[in-house]
């Protein structure tokens, strides 16, 4: 019998709120971690992108909030502005049905700090979401009162560490009560995260939820060999096949994102770009327009893979393979969400063979494709090309015959005989030289 949210003894208003947003069956992460989180236990949850970990802490937080108390009761840190905004939206979607009286505030860099302080002087939010730097600024100025916090969530902890924000998170946690419930969620748990975990978590439950497959079954994971052709031209041809709903294109640097953006825009495509070089207010506006379906194509850096959750992505394209294989999983996980079908397309050239091999060793399964009569069709496996190379380097039968004949002409011990001949020649030379010297002496 399939699991349901009713098995967690949630309130009736929570069950109704979940049904309103279309949540019927809990994910593996939710099924394993909701009970200990609801019971107040410290938890470290390790699971891949798109596994449903957000609602694993969102549901218990709302169930524990006292809507009548205008005090900070839960704090969630996120490593990027986009992720913080997405978390706020996810909370508010559920709060709309669950309890509209619960107040959520979002504090991120690049926004109007003065206005945030003015609002805090009138009312403290019950739930705080934001980036570590801005939250810490408001705490240090005594405008944000987090000493009443009951639950502290560090979301995307590995990304928080990678971006250098863990020290700020440490300082935030240090200003909270000792009996705090702490929840840490991350796709990976790197060794450098361990000191922080030991410092603040009390006898935590560590749960690593391994996906049945690295790439969900709802995603078709295609691999396209560019054969040294202009990749931007190849990209333009492939992403305009059919009528994709929303295509998310990934590149490794903001310079490459800009290059792709200007090229595709010149081809008449309705495209947006998102990377760290764009001002926060502008990125927020672009994200809002993407959500409102103003654009059919979005090109972004890996910041988007971890920090942006765009609904309705029908296709993800890896214009470049990421330098870190883990990011490949995060990128591809942007499509095929909530049981919907999606397509991931990876463009690669001869220089990318090693990374493709590494991904396949991790368990990523690719479907090689090629373009034929305006459609993507299945192509031969990559190892066929390697086999073909081996055949090409093999010697022609005729040449093999010459080689064998030459070997037969070489008699056994020929190297030794050559050495002996050379030695004999040297002996004769020395003998002749001695005779020449004797003749000169007689003449003298």
Strand order in the sheet with 181-186: 104-107, 127-130, 74-77, 151-155, 181-186, 43-46, 205-208
Main-chain phi, psi angles of 224, to 5 degrees: -120, 120
The CA-based dihedral angle spanning residues 333, 327, 343, 359, taken in that order and rounded to the nearest 10 degrees: -120
Structure token digits, residue 432: 């002749």
pLDDT digits (tens, 9 = 90+) for 43-53: 999 876 666 78
CB 236 within 8 A of CB 262: no
Residue ranges of domains in the chain? 5-208, 219-390, 397-434
Contact 177, 159 (CB under 8 A): no
pLDDT tens sequence across 19-67: 887 787 888 888 999 999 999 999 999 876 666 788 999 999 999 999 9
Q: What pLDDT score does 395 carry?
A: 47
How far apart (Å, rounded) are the C-alpha atoms in residues 92 and 82? 15
Bigger pLDDT: 266 vs 410: 266
Is residue 435 classed exposed, middle or buried when 0-12, 13-18 and 19+ CB atoms within 10 A define those classes?
A: exposed
Residue 213's CB: how many other CB atoms inside 10 A?
Answer: 12
- Of 78, 284, 49, 57, which Cα lies nearest the Cα of 163? 78
Give the CA distances from residue 194 to residues 136, 237, 306, in Å, rounded to whole numbers and listed in that order: 22, 46, 21
CATH superfamily to which 5-208 belongs? P-loop containing nucleotide triphosphate hydrolases (3.40.50.300)
**Between 12-20 and 81-98, two packed helices, what is the crossing angle to 10 degrees?**
120
Confidence band (pLDDT; 50, 70, 90) for 422?
Answer: low
**Residue ranges of E strands in 267-340:** 271-274, 297-300, 315-318
Flag whether pLDDT at 310 surpasses 50.
yes
User: For residues 235 and 260, is the Cβ–Cβ distance under 8 A?
Assistant: yes
Q: What pTM was computed for the model?
A: 0.60
Kindly state the average pLDDT of the residues 351-365. 86
Burial call 296-311: b when 16+ CB within 10 Å, e when fewer: bbbbbbbbbbbbbbbe
pLDDT at 291: 82
- How would you label 386-419 residue by residue, b for 16+ Cβ within 10 Å and e otherwise? eeeeeeeeeeeeeeeeeeeeeeeeeeeeeeeeee
The sign one gets for the Cα dihedral 184, 190, 195, 196 is negative
What is the spatial distance between Cα 345 and Cα 361, in angstroms, rounded to a whole number? Answer: 19
Per-residue pLDDT at 4? 84
Tens digits of residue pLDDT in 55-100:
999 999 999 999 999 999 999 999 988 888 888 988 988 999 999 9
What gap in Å lies between CA 112 and CA 99, rounded to an integer? 27
How does DSSP classify residue 398?
A: H
Range of lowest pLDDT (175-184, 187-196, 209-218): 209-218
Shared fold status for 5-208 and 219-390: yes
Q: CA 326 to CA 330: how far, in whole Å?
A: 7
Structure token digits, residue 209? 């939820």
Assigned CATH class of 219-390: alpha beta
**Whole-angstrom Cα distance, residue 376 to residue 156?**
36
pLDDT of residue 257: 95
Query: In b/e form, how buried is each residue of 339-348, taking b as 16+ CB within 10 angstroms?
Result: eeebbbbbbb
**Beta-strand runs (E) in 217-292:** 219-225, 247-250, 271-274
User: Which residue in 320, 381, 326, 325 sits closest to 351, CA to CA?
Assistant: 320
Tell me the CA end-to-end span of the chain in Å, nearest whole number.
Answer: 120
């Amino acid at each position: 019998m399939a699991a349901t949210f009713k098995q967690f003894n949630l309130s009736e208003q929570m069950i109704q709120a979940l049904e309103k947003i279309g949540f019927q069956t809990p994910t593996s992460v939710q099924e394993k971690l909701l009970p200990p989180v609801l019971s107040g236990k410290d938890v470290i949850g390790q699971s891949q992108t798109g596994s449903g970990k957000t609602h694993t802490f969102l549901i218990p937080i709302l169930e524990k909030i006292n809507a009548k108390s205008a005090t900070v009761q839960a704090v969630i840190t996120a490593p990027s502005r986009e992720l913080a905004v997405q978390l706020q939206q996810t909370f508010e979607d559920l709060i709309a049905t669950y309890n509209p009286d619960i107040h959520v505030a979002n504090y991120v860099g690049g926004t109007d700090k003065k206005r945030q302080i003015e609002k805090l002087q009138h009312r403290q939010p019950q739930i705080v979401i934001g980036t570590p730097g801005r939250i810490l600024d408001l705490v240090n100025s005594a405008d944000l009162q987090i000493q009443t916090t009951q639950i502290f969530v560090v979301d995307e902890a590995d990304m928080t560490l990678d971006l250098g924000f863990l020290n700020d998170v440490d300082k935030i946690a240090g200003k909270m009560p000792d009996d705090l419930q702490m929840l840490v969620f991350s796709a990976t748990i790197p060794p450098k995260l361990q000191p922080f975990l030991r410092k603040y978590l009390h006898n935590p439950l560590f749960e690593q939820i391994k996906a049945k497959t690295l790439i969900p079954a709802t995603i078709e994971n295609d691999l396209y060999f560019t054969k040294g052709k202009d990749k931007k031209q190849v990209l333009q041809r492939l992403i305009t096949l059919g009528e994709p709903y929303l295509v998310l294109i990934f590149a490794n640097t903001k310079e490459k994102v800009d290059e792709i953006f200007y090229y595709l825009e010149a081809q008449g495509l309705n495209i947006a770009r998102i990377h760290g070089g764009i001002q926060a207010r502008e990125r927020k506006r672009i994200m809002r327009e993407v959500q409102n379906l103003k654009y059919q194509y979005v090109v972004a850096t890996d910041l988007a893979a971890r920090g942006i959750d765009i609904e309705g992505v029908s296709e993800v394209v890896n214009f470049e393979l990421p330098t870190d294989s883990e990011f490949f999983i995060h990128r591809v996980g942007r499509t095929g969400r909530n049981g919907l079908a999606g397509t991931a397309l990876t463009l690669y050239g001869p220089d990318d063979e090693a990374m493709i091999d590494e991904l396949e060793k991790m368990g990523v399964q690719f479907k090689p494709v090629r373009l034929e009569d305006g459609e993507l069709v299945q192509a031969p496996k990559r190892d066929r090309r390697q086999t073909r190379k081996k055949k090409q380097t093999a010697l022609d039968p005729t040449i093999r015959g010459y080689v064998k004949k030459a070997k037969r002409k070489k008699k056994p011990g020929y190297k030794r005989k050559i050495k002996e001949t050379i030695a004999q020649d040297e002996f004769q030379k020395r003998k002749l030289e001695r005779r020449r010297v004797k003749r000169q002496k007689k003449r003298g």
